[in-house]
Each structure stands twice: as C-alpha cells, then as structure tokens.
Amino acid sequence: MKISIKVIFHLLLMALIAFSACNNEDEIDEGSDNIDESVGTVVDVDPELFLDGTTVTIVDCTLSDGTSTTCYQIVASTPTDHEMGPWCPDNITDGDEAGGIWLEGGEVYDVDGAFIENMATFYNDDTWLMYDSNGDIYVTDTYNDCVNAANPNVGDEYKNYCVECIPDYIEDLIRTWLIPTTPVKLTSYTSFAGMGPGQAGASIRGIAFNGVEFSASAPVDNILSAYTLAPFDDAGGHINVHQGYHYHAATGVSTKVTQEDGHAAMIGYASDGHGIYEQLNEDGSEPEDLDACRGHFDDTRGYHYHVDAPGSNNFINCLYGAYTN
C-alpha cells in the first residue's frame, strides 16, 4: 500500500506532539489566565524546614485556579518545639506563669489571677465573676466540659468559666494539610470570607514549621458574649477537639528561620505556598509596601507575607496565590 507524503508528515507531527507531552508531564499545568507572570523570583516550598515529628510527602493536586501540579501533604498532631499551655490560672492570686494570654483591642494581656479578678472592670460589666469566695477560678476540667463550653451555643451552666482544653483530649487527632510545592502567584487575591467551608484558607491561614496551623481569627465576640474566656498559651495557641492545637497569634515562640539581611524571620508557609514571616524586621520596622493581604515581594524571598501584630487576632488578610480546593 502506498502512503502519501502528506500522511507521513501528519504521522510525524503527531509523534512529535506526543513526545513533547511526555517530556513535559511534570511541568505545572497553567490552569487559568489569572496567573501573575510578572512576579519575578519564585521560591519553592522547602520541606526540610518542617521539624521532626511532621510528615511531609508529595501528592498530585489541583489548585483553586485550575492549575494541575503537586502539593506537599503535611501531617502533624502537636508541636515538638515548645510546650502547650498553661491557659487558665487556678486562683486569683496566681502570677502570669500560671496562665496564658488574651487578645483584646490589638493588645496582648497576661491571663494571670489579677486579670481574672478584674474582668468586670476590664469589660465594664458586673456579670463577670469567674471565681468563688476563696478566689478559686472556675475552669473546665473534663473532656465533656471542653466540648460543651467551646460550643458556639454554650449553655448558661458554663457562664463565667475559663475554658481550658488539654492535650490529653486530642491524643488521637491527626490533621492533614496540602500546600503547593511551588506557589502560583495570581493577579487578584481571594478573600477568606469568599471561600467555602471545605476549602483551605476558609479556616486556615497557613502552617508553622512544627506542623501546627495558623488559624483564622478566634471567635472572640461569641466567646465573650457567653461570659466565657478561652485563653491562648504564650505561643498564641489553644486546643479544641476538632482542630486540635492551633495558633491565633504569632508571638515568637514557635520555630523561626532568621534571615541574613535583617529581614523578618520566617515562621511557616501560607496555604498558597508563599512564605509567612514575622511582622517586624530585625530593626523593629514593619515593611511599608504590604498589599491588601499583608504581602510584598523581594528578590530573595519572592512574594511572601508578614503576619499582623500579635494582639490583632489575625495572621494575614487574604491569599494572593492559588490554594488547594
């Protein structure tokens, strides 16, 4: 059978296309026109920065903009670089070493005995009285109390309780997160409020090097309206039985990676794979060019974020990169 030159050319062309596809199957599939091609330096996630006790593996994933790529799957339970707690002091005579911290009006307050004793004055509300005639503070002390007092619809029986959930309650809880191995910077940002409840970022801002999540803002108004207090420890973290141990503030306790040029230290990665750094540079200054998400760019670190002040009950404001669905 005679084959025409035209058919031969077509077959060769198809073979060349197939060969090219096979050799590029590991490259990122750019899934949308929203990718920022002008970003400059792109810094891959470094899995070696995660501490022992945190399991990191590579898996296939699809990002929020449709990009097909790979992600690091990060599995951790509790921090290995610092102790958790304490949270609630036992008596109004206790010093600050017996309790954690509270975030109010942009400030960080020690939850010591005096703080508990003076809550009625602090909040200008005489309903607050979290201790008995001996000065002993009402503290949740069982698993069921922890679950019930942390419920948004907390009952009156927990009014004026200091809510403390301890590590024993989450021994079998394992959390898993996905972050892109290579961050994909977009031309527009995604607000956390616009994300669905199952999407990364809706309740999670990023991951510390010890595998603990940087969480969304604590529901402080709900907590206080029930006349309960759920302090954070000095690392900015506390426990519930669904999230496990998680941070609501960056206080400088968890592992950090200092920078040789005086830039703020790195403390983890955002859900989109971009680095998260402390609020302030080594000289005490905050970068002046932060965008709406609290991010900016430099040639060494590429696009990255700086966390909000510890008392703000906030880490970053939005994501400027593609995240996992």
In this prediction, residues 87-102 reach a mean pLDDT of 98
Encode pLDDT of 222-250 as tens digits: 899 999 999 999 999 999 998 999 999 99
pLDDT score recorded for residue 194: 66
pLDDT score recorded for residue 249: 97
Neighbours of 61 (CB within 10 A): 19
pLDDT, mean over the chain:
88
Rg (CA), the chain: 24
The contacts of residue 113 (CB under 8 Å, 6+ apart) are 89, 91, 92, 93, 94, 95, 98, 99, 135, 137
Residue percentage of the chain with pLDDT more than 90: 77
Buried b (16+ CB within 10 A) or exposed e, 233-259: bbbbbbbbeebbbbbbbbbebbbbeeb
Please say if the pLDDT value at position 23 is more than 60.
no
Please say if the pLDDT value at position 7 is more than 60.
no
Indicate the domain borders of the chain.
Answer: 96-171+220-247
* pTM value > 0.85: yes
Kindly report which listed range (133-137, 180-184, 202-206) carries the lowest average pLDDT score: 202-206
